[in-house]
A and B are shown apart, each in its own frame.
Chain A
Amino acid sequence: MSHIVVIGAGQAGSALAVKLRALGFDGKLSLYGAEPVAPYQRPPLSKKYMLGELQLDRLFLRPESFYADQGIELITGTQVTALDPGDRTVFLSNGTKVQADQIALTTGAEPIRLPAAMGGDLPGVYTMRSLADADAMAQEFDLGRRVLIVGGGYVGLEAAAVAAKRGLVVTLVEMAPRILARVAATETAAWIKAMHAGHGVDIREGCGLKVLKQSGGALNATLSDGTDLSIDFVICGIGVRPSVALADAAGLEIDNGIKVDALGRTSHAGIFAAGDCASFPWKGQRIRLESVPNAIDQAEATAATMLGGDQPYVAQPWFWSDQYDTKLQIAGLNTGYDRVIVRPGDKPGSQSHWYFRGPDLLAVDAMNDPRAYMTGKRLIEAGQSPLAAALADPAVTLRSLPLAAQKAA
């Protein structure tokens, strides 16, 4: 009987295993996870889970019994320590080794930590990636406690929103000249910054953390502008790195993640990769996405390849972030944009930002404006672009936006 091993039991690994069964794979199927728990959703960790609005049992993607019911051997709390790509042998931290017919790597990404020299090893310094991270810092979230958040990306901003809502005193530092510098336009960053200011979060841009020191029962943070801040704990949101150590040691080709083709195949036959750990071709470039929708869609496409399919994966990137009562939805990738059209929404507090390169629509950031998001998403997926002048005119409805002439394919 053929045996497929899926390494990494996060969103991608779980989706891949479930899809293999849905497509009729009836061989042996194993899913190995390093964390001690069944696959769960990460996005709520920095949102509803930290707010106490979503209990642990609802964080799990499926009930524990689901995997056995599906004939998926789920082994948690176990690292894969080595991989021999020649005969596809997998070595586990519990001492066993398993020979597989096909292997899927869905190892995800790991948070970048503050260097020890900056105080990154001190107690009270946290990252926000895993359930263990969220549970470890839960005890810190008491009214009036002071938190320093390092990094003004979406994870840091979501953590700031949760902390502010819980009544903490929140300072967020971003080394770059502005928050969201890597992922969003000035317009979106300014909108989000104003929202946080309205909730009392002290956002300091162009200001990094120099060093953390223990000081009595608290921490002292020295910032790059020379100021000192006394705080109770730190959340570090300075990004993630794809988890490629296993693949790299096995000799698989790495290029900003485990390099796969449009079918999810790595440089070695019989070994596949999907999700946050994998880089793949997209519109003539090679990209890697850190998002749940990509984890699911790429994993499912790769599962189909593993069962003999030949449909290339065409990513349709989208993202979301919830902060306070604001729902931010993002369609497309804005890389290479040369201008942004601001469109007021129909309701107070709603707005959308449309990224263009020349006449081509690349992406949309929609704040409290699901209609703008869905309209933008549909257009981007269809390769269509609205005329920018019409878009900027709120008198022109989303449904009646005139479109630019289609490019020749």
Chain B
Amino acid sequence: MMIKLSFVTSDGQEITTTARAGISLMEAARAANIPGILAECGGACSCSTCHVYVDRDWIGKLPGKAEDEADLLDFAFEPDEETSRLSCQVTLTPELDGMRVMVPERQG
């Protein structure tokens, strides 16, 4: 199944894309060339350069954070307790079809 996603960049530009269920939100962003998501470790939950804010209407549909993700997020640029996630740790599922995420001004 293809999941529709909407990324809002820090300068307010909205980019919509589709990605298949099963890959990560970070991989979807990389394929769509979304600026501001660096993902230097390629999805190993080792860097914190793929930080995004998930829209409040959608954050409740995501499974919770693992401890190492929460630890790395604490050091991200302006993290939000409630909506910040590392996009490499968010697996796309049918429930997330239509999800909207915001890209921070910078990573780290």
Contacts and interface: CB of A to CB of B under 8 A. Distances in A.
Interface of A: 18, 22, 41, 43-44, 47, 58, 61-63, 66, 69-70, 292-293, 296, 318, 320, 322, 327, 329, 347, 368, 370-371, 374-375, 378
B44 A63 contact: no
12 contacts: A44-B42, A63-B31, A66-B33, A293-B40, A318-B47, A320-B46, A322-B44, A322-B46, A327-B68, A370-B68, A371-B71, A371-B74
A393 to B, nearest CB: 21
Interface in B70-100: 71-72, 74-75
A374 B33 contact: no
Interface of B: 23, 27, 30-31, 33, 35, 38, 40-42, 44-48, 67-68, 71-72, 74-75
B40 A329 contact: no
Max count, chain A CB within 10 A of own CB: residue among B38, B42, B67, B71: B42
Nearest to B45: A327
A296 B38 contact: yes
A374 B31 contact: no
A61 B30 contact: yes
A58 B40 contact: no
Contacts of A70: 33
Contacts of A18: 33
Contact of B75 (A61, A296, A374): A374
A339 B34 CA distance: 43
Given A22-B35, A63-B31, A320-B46, 15 more contacts: A43-B41, A43-B44, A47-B44, A58-B23, A70-B33, A318-B47, A320-B41, A322-B46, A327-B46, A327-B68, A370-B68, A371-B71, A374-B74, A374-B75, A375-B75
A43 B42 CA distance: 8
Contacts of B45: 327
A10 to B, nearest CB: 13
Contacts of B74: 371, 374
A374 B23 contact: no
B34 to A, nearest CB: 11
Max count, chain B CB within 10 A of own CB: residue among A70, A292, A370: A370
A386 to B, nearest CB: 16
Contacts of A43: 41-42, 44
Interface pairs A-B: 4 shortest CB-CB: A374-B75, A320-B46, A370-B71, A41-B42
B90 to A, nearest CB: 15
A292 B40 contact: yes
